[in-house]
Amino acid sequence: MKKTYKIDVDCANCANLMEDAAKKTAGVKDCTVSFMTLKMKVEFEEGADPADVMQQVRANCKKVEDDCEIYL
């Protein structure tokens, strides 16, 4: 399953850090973050609950970029 989320991030480097953090989250098969469109596209692993996984993705992204936001 793939979902797209609106994000708020200050720079392209921060978007790259968010993408890396999201890719390392359990339940995420793949992720791309676009600074230009301010969107995060997440592909979830089979059987993963997107709501639960995205809570962890948000927490992991906040560790690398504390003023970023993912609108769930």
Q: What is the CATH number of the domain that holds 40?
A: 3.30.70.100
Longest dimension (CA), the chain: 33
Query: In which band, very low, low, confident or very high, does the pLDDT at 12 lie, cut at 50, 70 and 90?
Result: very high
End-to-end CA separation in angstroms for the chain: 15
pLDDT of residue 1: 95
Q: Mean per-residue pLDDT for 8-33?
A: 97
**pLDDT-based confidence at residue 44 (cuts at 50, 70, 90):** very high
| Domain extent for 30 | 2-71
Supply 44's token pair: 């979830």
Number of domains in the chain: 1
Note whether 28 and 57 are within 8 A (CB).
yes
- State mean pLDDT over 17-28: 98
Which DSSP string corresponds to 40-72? EEEEEPTT--HHHHHHHHHHHHHHH-TT-EEE-
